Amino acid sequence: MLRIEMMTTHGFFGEDTHLSEEGYALFVDALRVNKVHLLAKQVLEHVDECEKCKAEILETLSLTEDESCREAEPHPYLEAIDNQTAARFSIAYRIAAIFLVGISLGVVLYLFGFVIEKASDPPNSSVSSLIGKPSIQKVPANNDESIARRVLVADNFSESPNLENLVNSVSRSESPFKVSPRNNEIVKKEILFRWKMQGVEFVTITILSNKEDVLKSSSLKRSNFLYSEKLKPGLYYWKLEHKDELLYVGKFFVK
């Protein structure tokens, strides 16, 4: 069986560095079917520069120009190269098409994801700034007003870092004494603050919001205080002081 070598220069050149007899024949075949571009690059470059090979090819072409019957048959070498090239282009085009589809899909998914993320984001930045502690979670909302309201409410329950520390530290350090409301108690409308402390004639009671805003401050000789002003739902703190000494810090919730 004859071995056909594709896309190589083996067999195209003779020992004298010019084209071999088969090289000339192949070039003539390629010229007759307009497929010179399929020939090996080295062959084209050599013929480009070599007058002797051009002359040989030209003479052979003129001798065989009457023989058109063979052009209808598939050429053993040129057809194979042409099919190989077509297959390579086909594969290349397919890969390019897949790549293009992949990129387009990626862009569409990115844009789609961006649209969804935009829809779930808070409507403006000022609302998000009301959220103090990280522990307060964003509440998913159906609409912008609901989101804002929920964020504001949640913010009223956020803890004050300074007062929280005092709540824990003072309650640990002091000897037990009875107070009301107890820490974390949920209170309703009117709040009756009570305490029992030995060796203290008068105290100053201060009621604060969770933002450390002073809502009420009174100095008392008695050991109770009624606070009847309406408080919005939220977390609040109260502290008892005697002169400059902090006696107690408590916290309660209003709902």
* Contact footprint for other proteins (CB under 8 A): 2-5, 11-12, 20-22, 24-26, 28-29, 31, 36, 44-45, 47-49, 51, 54-64, 66-67, 70, 73-77
Is the Cβ of residue 69 or residue 119 nearer to other proteins in the bound state? 69
CB of 12 or CB of 248, closer to other proteins: 12
Rounded Cα distance between 152 and 159, Å, is: 14
54/149 with CB nearer other proteins: 54
Strand bridging mode 185-187 / 245-254: parallel
Q: ∠115-120-121 over CA atoms, to 5°?
A: 100
Cβ at position 84, least distance to other proteins in Å: 14
CB of residue 59 to other proteins, shortest distance in Å: 6
- Yes or no: say if 151 and 237 are a contact pair by the CB < 8 Å rule: no
Contact (Cβ atoms closer than 8 angstroms) between residue 247 and residue 151? no
**Pairwise CA distance, residues 100 & 98, whole Å:** 5
Q: Nearest distance from residue 82's CB to other proteins, in Å?
A: 14
Q: Which is nearer to other proteins, 28 or 205 (CB)?
A: 28
Find the shortest distance in angstroms from Cβ 8 to other proteins. 10
Q: Which is nearer to other proteins, 8 or 137 (CB)?
A: 8
Beta carbons of 4 and 80 less than 8 angstroms apart: yes
Which helix H or strand E contains 26, and what residues bound it?
helix 21-32
Q: For residue 141, what are its two tokens?
A: 């909302």
Torsion of CA 210, 213, 218, 224, to 10 degrees: -10
Rounded to a whole number of angstroms, the minimum distance from the CB of residue 85 to other proteins is 16
